[in-house]
Amino acid sequence: MPTISIMYPAMPADIGDVLPYARIAENTSGRRLWLGQSFTIETHAVFAALTGMGVDIGFGTAVTLMPLRHPMTAAVNARSIAALSGHTYISGIGPGGKELQHRVNGRPYDKPVTATRHYIRMMRSLLDGERATSDGPWPTEGIEIQKMDAPDVEIGVGVLREPMARLAGQAADWAITWLTPLTYLSQRLLPAMQQAANDADRARPRIASVVHCAINRPGRDLRQVALKAVGPHLSSPHYSDMLNQAGIPVDRTDPPASAQQIIDHNLFATGTADDIASTIATYHQAGIDDVIINVCGLYMHEGAGAALRDLTAITSAYNRRGDR
């Protein structure tokens, strides 16, 4: 059944700042808190701390970066959170940009999609109690991890374009999207994913979509809020190309104008709390399994209080719809 869940909108520096978002997640249909890659307090440490504080929810990453972890480390981290929380854990991964790959590994991946395929394969083998063989950029001598009784770890992959969508269809449990229009999802990514899953004789992965949003309140500069949320993405050739293909005419040399475009096309969801709840429902109607609500633009532009106020209003409005 389609659900909603919560994205913590920043790199955490204090567990007390994260706790209110986890408490809101407890009252959502998905009962899951998502974090991205953190270079402040490490993501998995945040999840472990929240569990120790009595938060009874699942967790997920959207996404952590492959160059920073060997697949064995990723598998142990993921299973640790599943075991500690008592809930299925979604380990969302992504290869990151070429610059990061070069800085961390000394060279970029020759083929990022292929590297991601190797990474998923090694993680899955280890989590299933099998010996992982030498594969791709992570040579091994047949590593394995000790079996233990714990909830499942489901592997997700960040999906932007068709090659990664096909990989998700072949090998992942989840496809995780960010700043992806519904038309592009339904017309390009979903068919590629479904065909790959059919060819691999497996079920299509579930889809989690991060949806950026802010209530249109008096005096609020929504363009600046959207720019704070996704400005670097709007300047990226990969994202600008995808958005233009989806019919949203962004110009990566003009991020403020592009921010207005994603507002005008409701990719950055705004209006009243009820309007945003209705937008979330359209994602579910299009086949999205989990909508991850992200108020990072508000957090960065107006602060934590404004972000929590809107997040509470939006989740309450969605819950009133009965779409759980």
What pLDDT shows up at residue 323? Answer: 56
Name the residue among 132, 110, 112 with its Cα closest to residue 122: 132
Residue 224 clears pLDDT 60, i.e. is over it: yes
pLDDT at residue 73 greater than cutoff 90: yes
Residues 128-178: pLDDT tens digits? 999 987 667 887 777 899 999 999 999 999 999 999 999 999 999 999 999
What are the distances in angstroms from CA 127 to CA 77, 82, 121, 143, 296?
11, 11, 10, 12, 32
Q: Is the pLDDT of residue 65 over 90?
A: yes
Is pLDDT of 301 > 70? yes
Q: What is the mean pLDDT of residues 181-198?
A: 97
pLDDT of residue 175: 98
Average pLDDT, the chain: 96
The whole-model pTM stands at 0.97
Helix axes 162-171, 112-127, angle to 10 degrees: 20
250 confidence band (pLDDT: 50, 70, 90): very high
CB neighbours (10 Å) of residue 15?
A: 15
pLDDT at 263 over 60: yes
Instruction: Say what percent of the chain tops pLDDT 90.
Output: 94
Position 254 pLDDT exceeds 80: yes
Residue located via tokens 């972890």: 69
Binning pLDDT at 50, 70 and 90, where does residue 12 land?
Answer: very high
